[in-house]
Amino acid sequence: MSPHSYKQELVGLFGQPVAENPTQAMIEAAFRHHDLAWRYLTIEVAPERLGDAVRGARAMGFAGFHCTIPHKVAVLEHVDEIAPSASLIGAVNCVVARGDRLVGANTDGRGFLTSVRPLLELNGANVVVLGAGGAARAVAVELALAGARRMTIVNRGTDRGAALAALLDGPVRAHAAPALDVRFVSLEDGYAVPADADLVVNATSIGLAPDVDADVPADLSALRADAVVADVIPTGDTPFLRRARAAGGLAVDGLGMLVAQGELAIELWAGIAPDADVMRGALLDALEVAG
């Protein structure tokens, strides 16, 4: 009989802020359910200390880690290899240890597609993406690769918004989306979502804790009844989604995306397909306690 081992495999989350991020609750519920001696650590990492954090993860033998705001783009320079999809997106949310090498992957966009596909035919869709950061890049690229016909990028900052539009109109179009029509619009003075939009995505950090009452300056009054409005904020309901429902749209919270990308992360780290129902149940329990 082999002796009991007290060693645990380590994964985690690097970001700032992270105190309100509920990912740990669902990931560790999956570990317990599948009898894995693993731990998921939620770690506050300031932007200027990201390199130190990655070196620390290497030194401590982490099996991998998530990156959230503001590290999804900055972490690219700290990994040894970038998976093809993450390279195209230009952002990494999931790092995987492969021997002595760290591989940057992106599960955000694929997780998002899982959450909206039951409600919407993505092939040929007219999409509005609010935001141009790491999450927006992942969502926009995966939507384009899934066959979206038209995409409007709406962002406060001109540089990042124009850069994302150029990414979609250049490398992404050349890779697998030749029919995609892309444009960029500034959010500075507000934005009115057009009546022909099939999908509207809030991929900004607006509504993220601690400022959970913040709302996106987008006019939803022209929404069609069959339009889907999705928020990537992983806290359940948001002011943006409440307005979407009031306007008659179909609201999709960020929990489905969070669970789906978490499933993919566990598959990459531990090589198993976790139980999504267990993960979502633990996430809902955690949010109810926090609320």
* Active site positions, annotated: 72
Contact 213, 237 (CB under 8 A): no
Nearest one of 253, 260, 213 to 234, comparing CA atoms: 253
Dmax (CA) of the chain? 69
Residue 48: partners with Cβ closer than 8 Å, 6 or more residues away: none
3-class DSSP state of 263: helix
- Report DSSP state, residue 63: S
81 strand-pairing partners = 103
Distance between CA atoms of 282 and 33, rounded to whole angstroms? 11
Name residue 171's amino acid. P
Cis peptide before 84 (omega within 30 of 0): no
Distance between CA atoms of 137 and 131, rounded to whole angstroms? 8
Q: Beta strands of 224-267 (E only): which ranges? A: 228-231, 250-252
Residue 54: partners with Cβ closer than 8 Å, 6 or more residues away: 14, 75, 78, 79, 95, 102
